[in-house]
Amino acid sequence: MARAEEIAEGAATGASNSIYNSSKNAIARWVRKNAATPQWAGEGIALNAIAPGVIETPMTAELLANEEGRRLLMEGSPAPFNGPAGPPTAPAGLLRYLTSEENSYVTGQLIFIDGGAEAIRRPETL
């Protein structure tokens, strides 16, 4: 297995969450730093990022297929609002809005779409 595949597999299975989490943090910081610049906001381009929680995908299908897997997902990423996983339409709908002409004022945001996991993990953080 190639090194990149090992890293990706580790991130998917939780073996190397630091790489996965670091990359998400880097993207969020880049969005915040660049959204209000002349190159983005000055050109009328909204720059945002979403932070999805567990979503029903081929990567999560095996865990969602049984009670033990769903329990593990809820422990690792608690989602009291319709958990343990969101449908693919949830982030798709948010992305559709954020990239549409209807979005005339939201920019520079990291939007969590995770069933409430972020609110549980860091209730005091904005």
Q: Which residues are catalytic?
A: 20
> Two tokens at 95?
């992305």
Q: What are phi and psi of 41, to 5 degrees?
A: -60, -40
Three-state SS at 110: strand
- The whole-angstrom separation of Cα 21 and Cα 26 is 9
Q: Which two tokens stand for residue 78?
A: 């608690």
Burial class of residue 76 in the structure, from the number of CB atoms within 10 Å of its CB (0-12 exposed, 13-18 middle, 19+ buried) = middle
